[in-house]
Amino acid sequence: MKSALARVLAVLFMVGGLGVALPAAAQGDRVLVFAAASLKNAVDDVASAYEASHDTDLRVSYAGSSTLARQIEQGAPAAVYISANEAWMDRLEERGRIMAATRVDLLRNDLVLVAPSDRGVRPTLAQKSDLFAALGANGYLAMANTEAVPAGIYGRQALQQLGLWNELQGRIAQAEDVRAALALVARGETPLGVVYASDAVAEHGVRVIETFAADSHDPIIYPAALVTDADTPAARDFLAFLQSEPARQLFKQWGFSIAGAE
């Protein structure tokens, strides 16, 4: 919301009392952000912190990185895109849909095996028999889409590296994004799921069973960039704020680590 001073200045300007233009930040800008579903809690907090000190109307749309990237390809009016992996950002860069000079590696994440918090199963990834016992005769492993959504792709890589994919692929409940997979576990609809560590922080209905080894899948990196033809001062300012220390602290609280940090 505008400060009282900004509202007074705006009125004075409209009636000719000042004769000078207001700075862009005081005019009320809008920025549409497309962000990977796994970022919801963190980016909601970051957006609120930003809006508290800026006269900018931030709108954030969350979905799987692949869904958002395809929408940008089709001309969706996003200004900032934050992907859960590099491949979808690479695709948009190759097609000229993001401004390559603004691209930055923002965050990192880990991949974890989770179970409903009220269940006592404790399988280990090293023991195949434990994992199948925890799934039971008819249970499924919840994952984001393993062909298109980053969390699902990383999960498939990890299961392949562990030699579990061939036996498990017929028992996977594939969801449209990682938050949908998380919900399946939290509601007890599946006994196990593969999600990001940050998702487990955001959902009290699940508990972490084990963290997948970092070398079992590609590095989980979240790049951010401005979308082509959306280069406004407000969009650039928010992209810069995403990299600021206040934003970084909020991301850390939600289970992310900072890309490039020691």
Work out the number of other CB atoms within 10 angstroms of the CB of residue 132: 16
pLDDT at 109 over 80: yes
Q: What is the pTM of this model?
A: 0.83
3-state secondary structure of 138: coil
How far, in Å, CA of 74 to CA of 45, rounded?
29
Q: What is the Cα–Cα distance from 226 to 78, expressed in whole angstroms?
A: 9
Cβ-Cβ contacts under 8 Å for 219 (sequence gap 6 or more): 108
Q: Average pLDDT in the 140-169 region?
A: 96
What confidence tens digit (pLDDT) does each residue in 48-103 have?
Answer: 999 999 999 999 999 999 999 999 999 999 999 999 999 999 999 999 999 999 99
> Angle between the 86-94 and 65-73 helix axes, to the nearest 10 degrees?
10
> If residue 144 lies in a helix (H) or strand (E), which one and from where to where?
strand 141-144
Amino acid found at 55: D
For residue 86, give the H/E element and its range: helix 86-94
First to last CA, the chain: 37
Half-sphere CA count of 218, side-chain side, radius 13 A: 14
Domains of the chain from N-terminus onward: 4-108+220-258 (3.40.190.10), 111-216 (3.40.190.10)
Span 190-231, pLDDT tens digits: 999 999 999 999 999 999 999 999 999 999 999 999 999 999
User: Could you give the 3-state DSSP secondary structure of residue 224?
Assistant: strand
